[in-house]
């Protein structure tokens, strides 16, 4: 997708926000619509979006639909209202029928309800948003073709009419199709994708035709295989076409030409998804400053309106200091200018005012990390607990917030809990399957945990990334993983030194915090079992037996007590931090282990008790 603003052009004079307008917020199960056109129109807009979401679900057989960030719909009653968020041209706002504005923290769609021309524009971008949030990376021809196909949807009470041709596309296609292998070879840096003109127009038109062909010929499964071969095996286009579709490039060219010339209707119909009109819609009248903050929130995501948005948030806080939304807005404003101290302070204030936005608490945790990154403080338990508390609040508000799981993985990794850090990153990847940073971090975490068989294939996949930075880092890390796998002593030499024992004791004594105590106890054991580390020179002992149970405590620094039976004897072996335990015969330690044959090397601490030196499974 080409990022940026999508709009239909003419010019319009600017206008200021009118404080006396009456705004309504309408909430449906999956959308929030703010409008100055009245509750009835707001409900109609929310219903239309619910229907389009259901159409997407049916087209691509996806039961669960999610977004990588919240979507705010603003439905203005006329073009004068929409001009408040329009991009500027020569000092004047461009007249729009509909507008999409993306952001990492929130997505916005704005509509002029006096015009029907905005729906195809916003639904084209909404299709991209849904694909990006719900499917692994495909290729430009599929994304753009599906967005064009989806954007022309028309819905009535009985039938959905979908896939009408974009303007002028049929005329272009009748002049001649580009070879399918060429279409499939277009990447985001290609002239056919980036530069305006006939080649780009043909690329969009033929991508739309290809989506029709895949749906009508029931070849979506083959397309999925094609993407997998290209992404995971870096297979050349022609070979992947042959293996996935069972056709040579020339045979595929003929199949697509025959399909286009068959005079079949170039659209698709399906039943209107049922039950949507019966969903619950909640409406409320917005206060003037709430409506102003909503519009300002969209404005600050546009380079043309950021100064205007910041002034609006400052004005709101002057009259309404209790506005968590305005504090959040100023946090985003300062974040966009890389003024991190000011941003962090406004996010903290927003959280203290009871913000319901999970990203507020994510940024509280993020800026707490940023304030200590690179210093020894980042590894102490109190800092990790504070970061974790903010993350937990974010995830409580949005259990599908991928960034929060990524930040949680950082805290767990710094606490040497690599197994749970891996699980947190796997969740982030599942929730945001196109985010290659998450995948690279996951592969790196596999590397840190000595899980080379998992790390190397993921690095190999990321080496073909279209992002040069991702590809370069993946190549370097893959070589490191191969070196460590071939020579384990290199990995041992690279392990972080455990110098934080006294730091944990001091922090635990200075703060009466239950969660901090739990972390401290997980690091060193509870009560009378603490500080029973063997004296230097204590000989190690060895026992073979059956691991019958594991009792783990703590999250960031989990400790464990292992019960092992050998003959008639029962042993209790302790590990203050299972992430640092030397485990042989497994990629990591798991608290769920039961009835496993093991060999334990340990320092004795009492009768049939000891501290684990190493654990071997066989």
Q: What is the DSSP string of 108-122?
A: EEEEETT-STHHHHH
**pLDDT higher than 90, residue 73:** yes
CB distance 46 to 33 below 8 Å: yes
Give percent helix, percent strand, percent coil of the chain, each to the nearest 5.
50, 15, 35
Q: How far apart are CA 564 and CA 583, in angstroms?
A: 15
**pLDDT higher than 50, residue 121:** yes
Q: How far apart are CA 176 and CA 257, in angstroms?
A: 9
Half-sphere exposure of 86 (CA within 13 A, CB side): 32
Mean pLDDT of the chain: 82
3-state secondary structure of 159: strand
**pLDDT higher than 90, residue 573:** yes
Per-residue model confidence (pLDDT) at position 513? 42
Pull the structure tokens for residue 182: 């060429």
3-state secondary structure of 590: coil
With a pLDDT cut of 70, the percent of the chain lying above it is 82
- Tracing tokens 């002029």 back to the chain, one arrives at 112
Query: What ranges make up the beta strands (E) of 402-527?
Result: none
Q: Model-level pTM?
A: 0.68
**pLDDT higher than 60, residue 20:** no
Q: Pairing between strand 609-617 and 596-606?
A: antiparallel
CB distance 112 to 98 below 8 Å: yes
Q: How far apart are CA 84 and CA 80, in angstroms?
A: 7
Q: Where in the chain is the domain with CATH 3.40.30?
A: 1-136+279-286
pLDDT digits (tens, 9 = 90+) for 222-252: 999 999 898 888 899 999 999 999 999 999 9
**pLDDT higher than 50, residue 534:** no
| 247 closest CA partner among 184, 201, 309 | 184
pLDDT digits (tens, 9 = 90+) for 274-301: 777 777 889 999 999 999 999 999 999 9
Helices in 111-187 by DSSP H: which ranges? 118-134, 140-151, 169-174, 180-185
**pLDDT higher than 90, residue 524:** no
At residue 528 the predicted structure's pLDDT band, cuts being 50, 70 and 90, is very low
Q: How far apart are CA 107 and CA 129, in angstroms?
A: 9
Mean pLDDT of 322-328: 96
Q: How far apart are CA 416 and CA 406, in angstroms?
A: 15
Residue environment code for 520-534, b if the CB has 16+ CB neighbours within 10 A, otherwise e: bbbbbbeeebeeeee
Q: Where in the chain is the domain with CATH 2.40.50?
A: 504-617
CATH number of 1-136+279-286: 3.40.30
**pLDDT higher than 50, residue 25:** yes
Mean pLDDT of 350-354: 96
**What DSSP assignment string belongs to 434-463?**
T-HHHHHHHHHHHHHTT-HHHHHHHHHHHT
Mean pLDDT of 185-211: 79
Q: CA-CA-CA-CA torsion for 514, 520, 522, 527, nearest 10 degrees?
A: -80
Is domain 504-617 in CATH 1.10.1200, yes or no?
A: no
Name the DSSP class of 128.
H
């Amino acid at each position: 997708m080409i990022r940026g603003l999508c709009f239909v052009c003419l010019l319009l004079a600017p206008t200021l926000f009118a404080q006396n307008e009456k705004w309504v917020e309408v909430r449906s199960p999956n959308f929030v619509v703010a409008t100055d056109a009245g509750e009835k129109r707001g409900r109609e807009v929310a219903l239309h979006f619910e229907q389009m979401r259901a159409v997407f679900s049916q087209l691509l057989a996806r039961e669960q639909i999610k977004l990588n960030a919240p979507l705010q719909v603003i439905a203005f009653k006329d073009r004068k209202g929409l001009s408040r968020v329009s991009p500027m041209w020569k000092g004047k706002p461009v007249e729009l029928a509909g507008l999409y504005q993306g952001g990492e923290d929130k997505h916005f769609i704005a509509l002029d309800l006096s015009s029907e021309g905005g729906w195809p524009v916003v639904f084209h971008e909404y299709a991209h948003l849904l694909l990006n949030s719900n499917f692994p990376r495909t290729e430009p021809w599929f994304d753009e073709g599906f967005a064009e196909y989806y954007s022309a949807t028309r819905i009535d009470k009985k039938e959905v009419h979908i896939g009408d041709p974009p303007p002028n596309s049929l005329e272009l296609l009748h002049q001649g199709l580009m070879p399918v292998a060429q279409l499939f070879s277009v990447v985001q840096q290609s002239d056919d994708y980036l530069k305006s003109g006939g080649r780009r127009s043909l690329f969009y038109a033929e991508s739309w035709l290809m989506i029709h062909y895949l749906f009508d010929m029931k070849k979506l499964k083959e397309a999925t295989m094609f993407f997998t071969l290209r992404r995971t095996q870096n297979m050349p286009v022609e070979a992947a076409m042959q293996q996935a579709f069972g056709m040579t490039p020339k045979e595929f060219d003929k199949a697509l030409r025959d399909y286009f010339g068959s005079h079949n209707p170039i659209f698709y119909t399906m039943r209107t998804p049922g039950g949507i009109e019966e969903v619950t819609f909640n409406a409320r009248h917005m206060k003037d400053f709430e409506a102003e903050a909503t519009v300002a929130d969209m404005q600050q995501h546009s380079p043309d309106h950021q100064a205007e948005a910041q002034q609006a948030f400052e004005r709101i806080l002057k009259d309404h200091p209790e506005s968590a939304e305005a504090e959040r807005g100023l946090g985003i404003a300062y974040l966009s200018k890389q003024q991190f101290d000011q941003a962090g302070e406004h996010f903290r204030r927003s959280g203290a005012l009871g913000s319901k936005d999970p990203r507020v608490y994510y940024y509280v945790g993020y800026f707490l990390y940023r304030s200590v990154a690179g210093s020894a403080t980042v590894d102490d338990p109190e800092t990790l607990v504070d970061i974790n508390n903010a993350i937990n609040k974010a995830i409580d508000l949005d259990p599908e917030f991928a960034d929060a799981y990524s930040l949680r993985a950082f805290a767990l990794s710094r606490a040497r809990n690599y197994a749970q850090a891996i699980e947190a990153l796997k969740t982030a990847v599942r929730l945001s399957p196109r985010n290659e940073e998450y995948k690279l971090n996951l592969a790196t975490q596999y590397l840190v945990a000595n899980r080379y068989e998992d790390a190397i294939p993921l690095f190999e996949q990321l080496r073909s990334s279209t992002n040069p930075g991702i590809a370069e880092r993946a190549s370097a890390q893959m070589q490191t993983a191969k070196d460590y796998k071939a020579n384990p002593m290199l990995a041992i030499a690279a392990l972080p030194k455990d110098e934080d024992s006294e730091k944990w004791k001091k922090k635990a004594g200075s703060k009466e915090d239950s969660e901090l105590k739990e972390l401290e106890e997980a690091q060193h054991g509870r009560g009378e079992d603490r500080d029973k580390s063997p004296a230097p020179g204590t000989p190690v002992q060895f026992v073979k037996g059956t691991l019958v149970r594991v009792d783990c405590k703590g999250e960031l620094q989990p400790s464990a007590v292992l019960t092992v039976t050998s003959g008639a004897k029962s042993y209790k072996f302790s590990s203050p931090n299972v992430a640092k335990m030397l485990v042989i015969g497994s990629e990591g330690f798991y608290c769920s282990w039961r009835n496993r044959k093991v060999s334990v090397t340990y320092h004795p601490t009492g009768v049939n008790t000891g501290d684990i030196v190493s654990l071997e499974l066989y």
